[in-house]
Amino acid sequence: MSYLAVKHLHVTFAALSGILFFVRGLWMLADSGMLQRRWVKIVPHVIDTLLLVFALILVVWSGQYPFAQNWLTAKLLALVVYIVLGTIALKRGRTKSVRIAAFIGALLAFGYIVTVAVTRHVV
């Protein structure tokens, strides 16, 4: 598999992850029972695992590592923020207002990750 193919797969899984998070967030806002469906609980983990696998392959193949490259460090730290806020938004938020605030914050973190990935500059 070529570097370009791995990069395209990484970008594809990033897009799928973001889209599915957005849809699940909309379901949370609507108090939809869709969030309790089995596939909704499984598919995001599969997508995010593949996203991470392809990210690790890219890191190794390119020789660009977090804490050595500022933009990768920023992506990694923003990813942690995204995961924490996403978990609060979809599962752990005690009130609807907390979940909404976390959802918006997670979307902003996702947008930041994409911006840094595209520009390779910490903004």
55 pLDDT exceeds 90?
A: yes
φ, ψ (nearest 5 deg) of residue 30: -90, 5
18 pLDDT exceeds 90?
A: yes
Residue showing tokens 């933009």: 71
pLDDT at 4: 96
Burial class (CB in 10 A: 0-12, 13-18, 19+), 123: exposed
123 pLDDT exceeds 90?
A: no
Number of structural domains, the chain?
1
d(CA 76, CA 13): 16
- Residue of 89, 85, 86, 66 whose CA lies nearest to 76: 66
Range of the domain at 96: 3-119
Per-residue pLDDT tens over the stretch 67-104:
899 999 999 999 999 999 999 999 999 999 999 999 99
Which pTM value belongs to this model? 0.92
